[in-house]
Chain A
Amino acid sequence: MGLAPAQKGQPQGLPLHLDIMNIIVVGLNHKTAPVEIREKISFQPTMLEDAHRKLLETPGVTEGMILSTCNRVEVYSCVNDIENGIREVKGFISAFHGLPIERFEEHLFVCSAEDALKHLFRVASSLDSMVVGEPQILGQLKDAYQTSCKYTAAGVIINKLLHRAFSVAKRVRTETKIASSAVSISYAAVELAKKIFGSLEGKVVMLVGAGEMCELAAKHFINSGIKEIYVTNRTFERAEKLAEEFKGTPVPFNEFHQSLQKVDIVLSSTGAPHYIIKPEDVTEALRARKQKPMFFIDIAVPRDIDPKVNDIDNVYLYDIDDMQGVIEANVKERSKEAEKAEGIIAEELKGFIHWLKTLDLNPTIVGIRERAEGVRKKELEKALSYLKGVSPEQVKVLESMTSAIVNKLIHHPIVALKAHAKDHSRDMYVEVARNMFNLAEKEKEETEESLED
């Protein structure tokens, strides 16, 4: 009774979805923008503190997270209003990098609400990657999330969303074989090396020349636990610089043949017009290392290594076409798995949105009322069955008394819920209320995915 006016007075027109559905993504990636644009928009690690602060100062933005990798720059934000939010975030990017918006707007992609969730899930599961299934992106996303937490830009919504994204990614990884086959030269190289050497621990890699692909492959080898990396290049300074980057040892170019005997894996990509590694160099190295196997990857065109090297026992040579062949077979298999992964994401998205709906304010308030009313009716019935000779008027008095008690008890919780309907802490209030009134029936428990995973 006492609450009836308040219920009526609830503003119907105002969006109650001032929540997780107000998430937007503004960004660009390898599909939408060339590297010249991506590099101008990218956020270097040193900029991130400032960037998160400025993002939060942007009008209408309540939470934010910046994901910046070499293939993508994406700004995730929670905004009060989607349309204004998108405009403001674009403005933030433009102002932060001092780049007029016209210069890059055509390369931007924007999505919001359900599409934004789906995008995040796909990114986390590596379905949006240039090399579908490559595992690095998940780590990068975790880093971005941690950075955002560190600068207190992530709130309840980003927390929830990211944790869910991590668990979706885990499901995709375990239920599909999306990450099981190597589809980039560097992965294929590492995988092949493992078939030759078993474990890569304690192995020595040499980079001959400094192509981009070689550097990438070198990084993967380093991540696989190799012991040492030698770098050689025609210009010694370049070798020194790369060696420093990989914590390796630079080797002068005219002396690198002498070091071959210490090396298990050679990655070659020089611009030399003729072969720089010949069968006799390899046989000699092999003798010195007691025939321990060697693996040569030649991604230079024209080739650096004489193909006859492959005829030597315990030596394996792959040129760029051989590597391409390995990858092609894997790509086919992977696209089948990607389809399966998309299915999982669609399913997870549906589940997540359903779960979000249970967090809505209105159903929660209704739920609290129903719960209270149910208890009142049951208890009243019980009481009436004990009492004899109660007149209808007396029943009426009992009815209104119990109603008054119940309504007054739930009045403040409901007012408090409504008071936070539009702010940051809304989701938390809703969740607490649902727990306290035991409305959590079959809500799917959110899997708290640990970040270390």
Chain B
Amino acid sequence: MLFITLFLYLAATIGYISYLVTLKKGISVASTSILGISFLIHAVTIILRYPELGHPPFIGIETLSFLAWTIVGIYLLVEWRYKVYVLGSIVSPIAFILLLLTVIIPEGEIHVPSYLRSVWFPLHVGFAFLGNAIFSLACAAGIMYMIQERQVKGHHLGGIYKRLPSLDVLDEINEMCLFVGFPLMTFGIITGFIWSNAVWGTFWNTSPRAVFSLITWLLYATLLTGRLSVGWRGRRAAVLAITGFSIMIATYFVINIIWGGHAFK
């Protein structure tokens, strides 16, 4: 099942990339369908693996698979809303790679500690994940914005210029992701506090993960305020979205994988 999903993500990747090259409408439609199907199969896979793993897909290596699934889901929504098919050529390979990592990295013996059994934990992680997935799209749109902006500003109107969507659409995706992603991330942090309080009796538990999450949150908060008050947009918004997501990814890989989640005392 996992392999079918993996294969379909690969197929979608190839599809979106060949759309990028040929710009044929039929290919984009086919790629979207493939991605949609893989999204559904992936969902079934995650549900079926639940009893097998004995814990929600928020712990250990399984998180990567869950992250891939949320990113694809959010992307499908964005594609449907903005008709930006080229973004698929970034999103589907990401999904493929994340899932591939899930498959190749051996799942170690996981003892689910009692503090992860709190009801607040899945809420905390669920919100955080949705937020992450949305910000990953903001990052992808931001990268495209930077490239397209370079083309338009530098007066190079070649193949890249033709293939990428308009600056306005890319900026709108950035804005939408911020408006939706920020509250989700905030909920994720609040539920994190509550969870911490429920388990350890304190709202703040200093761990590198918590600190970096707060930094990321502050960054997005700044962007949101700037956007609303003085109209930070375009390039600046793109740079901040890319930075925010990079910190998030770094936090995830360095702290979560290497140090094994929140480094709890």
Contact = CB atoms under 8 A, between A and B. Distances in A.
A256 interface: no
Contacts, number: 52
Interface stretch (B35-43, B63-71, B152-160): B152-160
Interface string A278-322: 000000000101111100000000000000001001101010001
Contact of A314 (B155, B161, B234): B234
In order of increasing CB-CB distance, the 5 nearest A-B pairs are A290-B231, A198-B168, A291-B231, A198-B166, A322-B155
Interface string A177-212: 000000000000000101111110000000000000
Given A195-B161, A291-B233, A310 B167 contact: no
Contacts of B148: 195
B129 to A, nearest CB: 30
A353 to B, nearest CB: 35
A195 B233 contact: no
Nearest to B226: A291
Contacts of A192: 152, 157
Interface of B, secondary structure class, is helix
23 contacts: A192-B152, A195-B152, A195-B166, A196-B168, A198-B169, A199-B168, A289-B231, A290-B231, A291-B231, A291-B232, A291-B234, A292-B231, A293-B168, A293-B234, A313-B236, A314-B234, A314-B235, A316-B152, A316-B153, A318-B155, A325-B155, A326-B155, A329-B158
Contacts of A293: 167-168, 233-234
Contact of B233 (A197, A198, A314): A314
A425 B158 CA distance: 55
Interface string B76-94: 0000000000000000000
Interface residue range, chain A: 20 to 34
Interface of A: 192, 194-199, 287, 289-293, 310, 313-314, 316, 318, 322, 325-326, 329
A196 B167 contact: yes
Interface in B118-161: 148, 152-153, 155, 157-158, 161
A183 to B, nearest CB: 13
Given A290-B230, A291-B231, A316-B152, A195 B167 contact: yes
A20 to B, nearest CB: 38
Contacts of B233: 291-293, 314
Nearest to B161: A195
Given A195-B167, A197-B168, A293-B168, 20 more contacts: A192-B152, A192-B157, A195-B152, A196-B166, A196-B167, A197-B167, A198-B167, A198-B169, A290-B230, A291-B230, A292-B231, A293-B167, A293-B233, A293-B234, A310-B153, A313-B234, A313-B235, A322-B155, A329-B157, A329-B158
Interface residues of B, number: 19
Interface in B159-196: 161, 166-169, 172
A325 B158 CA distance: 11
A134 B166 CA distance: 23
Contacts of B234: 291, 293, 313-314
Contacts of B152: 192, 195-196, 316
Interface string B1-40: 0000000000000000000000000000000000000000
A194 B168 CA distance: 9
A194 B166 contact: yes
Nearest to A316: B152
A33 to B, nearest CB: 34
B90 to A, nearest CB: 19
